[in-house]
Every structure is written in C-alpha cells, then in structure tokens.
Chains A and B, each alone.
Chain A
Amino acid sequence: MSLAGLPRRILLEEKQMTREELDGMAGEFRYVVTDAICRSGVGHIGGVMSLVEIVITLYFRIMKVKPEDPDWPDRDRLVLSKGHAGPIVYTALAYRGFFPKDWLTTINQNGTRLPSHMDQILTPGVEITAGSLGQGLSCACGMALAAKHDGRKHRVFCIIGDGESDEGQIWEAALFAAHNRLDNLVVICDYNKMQIDGRTEEIMNLEPLVDKWRAFGWETFEINGHDWDAIYDTIQKAVTVTGRPAMIIAHTIKGKGNRETEGLVDCHNVKIPDETTYQRFMCGLECKFDLPY
C-alpha cells in the first residue's frame, strides 16, 4: 500500500531528542535493567536488551501518556505481549515517572510490584497482564476495537516476540485485526531470531515472516530495531496507515549491548548466582552509569 497522498496525521507526542541523548539513555537503561535483573538472581535478559531502542522510542518520543494518571482515557496504550520482557518496560515507566526508580531494585523479589511478567493489577502503567505467550495481541485487538467503537483517537501499540509467533493465537489475532480493519493497532515484532531452545530457524522457522503478515492483510514494514531513525520514522508511518493494522518486523539482536549476552542463543533467561557473576554481567556492558537509587 502506498502512503503517498495520505494525510500525515500527527497524533502522537513527537519529542525531539539528539542521537547522543538517545544513545545515552539506551546505555543507561541497559545498565539499570541489567543491574535490576542480576540483583534478582535470574531473569529474561536477552529479550529485554533487544527491545531497548524500541521501548525508549515509544515511551519517550511517541506515546502520549500521563504518568500521574496512568488510566487517562486518551493515553496511547502499549501491550507487551511477550510479557517476559517486562523489566525494560518497567525501566521506561520508572524513568517516565509512573513510579519511583528504586522500585526497579525489587524486580522479582518477594512482594514486588514488578514481577518477571507483566501484571496490569500490580504495576502502574501496565495495560495488560501477559506472560503466557500469544495472549497479549488478542487483548490489544480488543482494546483497539473498543477505541474505534468509542471514537477515540489514541493508538494501541503491541510488541510480540518471534518465538511467541509460534503460537496459534497470534495468527488468530492476525486474522481478527485485519478482518476488523484495526488501523489504530501497530504491532512490533521483536525479531531477534532466537527462542529459548535455539535459533528460530532451527526450532520453528518463521520465514517468510513479512510475507505472512502481508498475506494476512496487514501493512508491513521491516526495520533495524536498533536504528533510532528507522524506529521513529517507521512508527510514524505505521500510524498513518488506514483500513488495516500495521506490523513492523524489527530485526534485533538478542542480548544486545552486553558482551555476556549479545547474540548468544543461551541468553534468554540467565542465572546470576553470585557476586562474581553479577560483576561479570555488569562489566560486560558498554558503559558504566551511576544507578539512580
């Protein structure tokens, strides 16, 4: 579908940030989230690190949200269907002011409000509980449908995983969103090419992935999911699509930004049993930052 001639609707909160600012924020997020996960002793670091640039772009350049009013009716919604990447969304929510940054030190600790997988009851700013894979996209469809029925202009964003895309329910939702012309729904697939047991091409091949979504009736985009301009520009294009939902296949690197995890197939869920391992993971990051608590 050609975008030429379509009115460019500026519906979103466009924030100008320099590349240096963005790179700095990504480095700090990777440092903070690695510390938070490692403190808990175990966590899904791989699929967290692959989403850093995408989540920062959404929460700091695009989505309209009110941290002081998490249920503000006109807010843009993000459903993290791959709920195990919760910690990177928690980091964004904390830096955006939804809750104090020192909550991040409680990830996966007893009594926490920041559990390993997203929980809409526990965490301010979390839209939908997710963790059992494949379910969040269906919920995002329901939210997008409700917005259309109510004549609301906000957007529903949803992030799914590539391993998650093995689930039949993803493709049920793919049919449903196209059939119902949910053009207020923009989905991003974190295509880091790895799932728990190995590479996606070995465990369950998804290719040709873009063709599949196109065949299901979606407008499709393909980007480098770590390229700031590509992420921002493509989301801005995706929200102007009319008559159909939009899928952005984001090519990413699992575990990106830490030499202990980057591109390693075993980085899905790491164990940090002791101080030595903790230091090794922290030293594997590209830059050091002061923790904000």
Chain B
Amino acid sequence: MGNYHEMEMRVVYAQTLNELIERNPNIYCLEADLGKASATIPEVSQRNPRNYINSGVQEANMIGVGAGLAREGKIPFCATFTAFATRRCYDQLTISVAYANNNVKIVGTSPGITQGPNGGTHMCFQDLAIMRAMPNMHVYSPADSNELRSVMFYMAASQQPTYMQLVRLKMPKLFEEGTPFDPNQAKRLHAGEDVTLVATGFMTRFALDVVRQLAGEGVKVDLLHYPSVKPFDTQTLIDSARKTGAVVTVENQNIIGGLGSAVCEVLSEQHPVRVKRLGIPDRFGEVADQDYLFAKHGFGPEHIARACRELSNSKP
C-alpha cells in the first residue's frame, strides 16, 4: 500500500482493479488487445483471470459485451486507447451504454499528447468533448495516482455509466492517498484573487507548477482542478470568477468542446467574464514529444503563465 505516486498510473490502475475485484467479484476487467499497454496484463490477467476478458481487437464488441455484463449486474471496466475507447465506438457507447443506462465504465488510456510515439492517428483530442455531449455519461480525468484510486473506487460503487481518462505515465503526487472524490466538487489547489486557472487530468500538475512560479512574481492565481468534467461543479467556478474576474483554462484536448467549453458555457450564462482557453487549437496530432507539442500548440507551462499574467493584468 502507499507510494502510488512512485508507480506508473497504469500500474496503479491495474493494481486497483485487482483490489476492487477481490472486494467485489462482479467487477470485470475488459481489454481489446491492449492489456499489456494498460498493465492489466499481467497484473489482472494472472491474478484474477476469471474476471479478465480480452476481446481481441474488437472495441465495438467489447463495449457491447460490457453492456450485456452490466445488464446482468456486473461492473465492467473497459479499457483501450482514448481514440478507440471513444471515437471508434461512439455509437455503441451511445446506445448500448448511455441510452440504455447500462453501468459500464470506459477507460481511455493515453489521452491527448501523452500518446506521443503513436502520433496523429492515435492522438485523440476530442474525447472529453464527445463523451461530455452524451446524456447519462459521467466524464472524469484524475490528475495523479491517489486521485485515480479514489475515482476508481467511486466508479466501482456507482451505478453510473462513466468515461475516465487514464494517463499511463508516472505523475507527481498532488493528492494524499484517500483524498475523497466527489464528481460534483472541484478542488482548489491554490487560492488567489488575480485570475482563475482551471485545469483537469494531465495538465493539472503543470498548472500547479505555474501557479507556484507566478506566486513568486506576485500574481495570485486561484487554481481549480476538475477531476470531473461532467458533472461540472458550477458553483466553485462562479465563486472564483466573481472573485478574480478572469479565467484561463488548460486541457490536454482540443479547445473545442472540452473543459474550456464547459467553463465558457457556465460563465456565459451565469457570470460573464473574459476566458482564455488553452489546449490544442483545433488541429490533429503528430509523432512528437511533449515539449514539442506544448510549444507547437501553445498550452505548455510558459503559455499558461503568459495567459495568467495577461488576464490578470487585463482586468479593468
């Protein structure tokens, strides 16, 4: 137990699934020939083979089988790369899972630019957007291993069809083990009055680094981390925007439809302030490393810092 932040998130995912299966034999681990990539091979496949189902390269069928299992009271966690977990089987997710309200958990691994070496075909920048637009579907994006565990425990106990992004990499520790997860509650990681910064998933660690740096410059940032993009905690955002008067969003996604859009939807209706969205500016990905992609698309730490300074200074 413990020290999960010293492990790759995918290993934490697999070990936590084992823990969940051993508490509740109705939990299932489904894979579509990417079990090794998710680390569920060998973690889950060897330790809990009865609850391990590999469909081969059949994402659509995996989701349907998951729906059938859920109809019989099972709780399947179906994992594959984000591109295949969402856009490839979007209609199966829509009808067999969400419309039918079957309690399936979908896990999209290697979101956004963390798909680096596989390049543009595998980089999915729209999964938060398209999954958020699906009625009955919750959408989560945990930022570190301890939060991942809390989110998974929540998912295993809920009756809610859910999509979760899973960064496979090791991530720095942001939260203590056992930090509670409530999809209706954003987390304030740093309090400030000058500008609000909203982040989720992979980008929260970078946002926190930037906020600490800016504090040294005298720019006080109110940093909100949203482990759940849907449901979306509107009140915390509005309270923060009321205080700061300007909001920057950053996400490992297309700026169309994801976290930034969720923020704009809430603020434009309830408390209009200036918003700057950082992320992928409506482009496809390519084979490249993180720094190259941050620089090309303008959503790395320096871009976050610049946007926070600009909006902080631009207030009337």
Contact = CB atoms under 8 A, between A and B. Distances in A.
B61 interface: yes
B293 interface: no
B56 interface: yes
Given A129-B95, A129-B96, A138-B96, A169 B64 contact: yes
Interface residues of A, number: 33
Majority-rule SS of B interface residues: helix
Interface string A143-181: 111110110000000000000000011001101100110
B61 A128 contact: no
B96 to A, nearest CB: 5
Contact of B50 (A119, A129, A147, A149): A149
A51 interface: no
A58 interface: no
Given A149-B50, A175-B56, A139 B74 contact: no
Contacts of B70: 142
Interface string B58-81: 101101111111111110100000
Nearest to B94: A132
Contacts of A169: 60-61, 64, 92
Nearest to B72: A146
A136 B91 CA distance: 12
A141 B65 contact: yes
A34 B190 CA distance: 66
Nearest to B70: A142
Contacts of A175: 56, 58
Contact of B71 (A119, A142, A180): A142
B69 A176 contact: no
B100 interface: yes
> B64, B66, B100 — which one has the most chain A CB atoms within 10 A of its CB?
B64
A255 to B, nearest CB: 27
A28 interface: no
B160 to A, nearest CB: 15
A247 interface: no
B99 interface: yes
Contacts of A131: 95
Interface string A117-144: 0011100000111111011111111111
A143 B71 contact: yes
Contacts of A176: 55-56, 58, 61, 65
Contacts of A173: 61, 64-65
A128 B71 contact: yes
B53 interface: yes
B95 A135 contact: yes
17 contacts: A128-B71, A128-B96, A128-B100, A132-B94, A135-B64, A136-B64, A138-B92, A138-B96, A139-B96, A140-B68, A142-B67, A145-B65, A145-B68, A146-B68, A168-B60, A176-B56, A180-B53
Given A129-B100, A138-B92, 13 more contacts: A121-B101, A128-B100, A132-B94, A134-B60, A135-B64, A138-B61, A139-B68, A139-B71, A142-B70, A142-B76, A172-B60, A175-B58, A179-B56
Listed from nearest, the 5 A-B pairs whose CB atoms lie closest are A142-B68, A138-B64, A146-B72, A129-B100, A172-B61
